[in-house]
Amino acid sequence: MNSLTLKYFNETDFLRDDQRADSIFYSNPRFVNHLDSLALSTVENIYARLIPKEADILDLMAGPDSHLKEELVLKSVTGLGLNKDELEANTQLSAIIIHDLNEDYSLPFNNHTFDAVINTVSVDYLIRPVDVFSEVGRVLRPDGIFILLFSNRMFPPKAVKIWKNTLEKDRIDLVKKFITLSEALVVQGYSESKGKPRPEDDKYFKYGIPSDPIYAVWASVKK
């Protein structure tokens, strides 16, 4: 943790209940939807609205789906994640990188490689989010955009303590703080989509709970 990060957080904030290597937890592919269909379409709409045309994209912590609409005209989509089977099943990816960000927060790409970096429902698993976000600033082109989307579901043993100890309503501020502390990015906006009726086809519909919330924070490269 760099000294600026230590001013705001404790080392213990980023401990997990399961401290083993992430490659163990993610060794089996999970071909599941982490969100209900309405929340998934919100994710797709946010990416479609914010990602520029003809973009080179990095999907950070990618799984079997990058949530990029078919009609988005993209140049390339690189998926960085931990499970090869999940990444190979992702038909939107043009390149695959297996890389554990909790072992090595540096991103294996040259400076100014991407127009957009996206991160979907995964920020809660990073033990060095500030350092990873500094790297995001480095690999983005000067006019690039970083878009982070998250909900309220998680794999609890792998989520960092500070995420679990922060109320859902305060997690946007937590993500904004990670971004600002990176000193490489500037928050440009945020949004919340919540309280909508859960789709009838969803397995949790019978419990009468709303659709999964979608929180978004996006940032530009600090000039």
Ligand X SMILES: C[S@@+](CC[C@H](N)C(=O)[O-])C[C@H]1O[C@@H](n2cnc3c(N)ncnc32)[C@H](O)[C@@H]1O
What does the binding site for ligand X look like in residue numbers (CB under 6 A)? 22, 26, 34, 61-63, 65, 81-83, 86, 100-102, 120-122, 125
Q: At closest approach, how far in Å is the CB of 100 from ligand X?
A: 5
Q: At closest approach, how far in Å is the CB of 154 from ligand X?
A: 8
Q: Tell me the C-alpha distance between 114 and 64, whole Å.
A: 20
Q: Tell me the C-alpha distance between 9 and 177, whole Å.
A: 11
Is the Cβ of residue 151 or residue 180 nearer to ligand X in the bound state? Answer: 151
Is the Cβ of residue 39 or residue 55 nearer to ligand X in the bound state? Answer: 39
Q: At closest approach, how far in Å is the CB of 40 from ligand X?
A: 9
Is the Cβ of residue 84 or residue 112 nearer to ligand X in the bound state? Answer: 84
Q: Which residues contact 39 (CB under 8 A, 6 or more apart)?
A: 151, 193, 211, 212, 213, 214
Spell 22-36 as b/e; 16+ CB within 10 A means b. Answer: beebbeeeeeeebbb
Is the Cβ of residue 75 or residue 84 nearer to ligand X in the bound state? Answer: 84
Is the Cβ of residue 61 or residue 93 nearer to ligand X in the bound state? Answer: 61
Closest residue to ligand X: CB criterion:
63
Q: Tell me the C-alpha distance between 156 and 163, whole Å.
A: 10
Q: At closest approach, how far in Å is the CB of 210 from ligand X?
A: 20
Is the Cβ of residue 23 or residue 222 nearer to ligand X in the bound state? Answer: 23
Q: If DSSP codes are grouped into helix, strand and coil, which group holds residue 133? A: helix
Q: Tell me the C-alpha distance between 180 and 35, whole Å.
A: 28
Q: At closest approach, how far in Å is the CB of 127 from ligand X?
A: 8
Q: Tell me the C-alpha distance between 89 and 64, whole Å.
A: 5
Q: Tell me the C-alpha distance between 125 and 142, whole Å.
A: 27
Q: Tell me the C-alpha distance between 122 and 59, whole Å.
A: 11
Q: At closest approach, how far in Å is the CB of 19 from ligand X?
A: 12
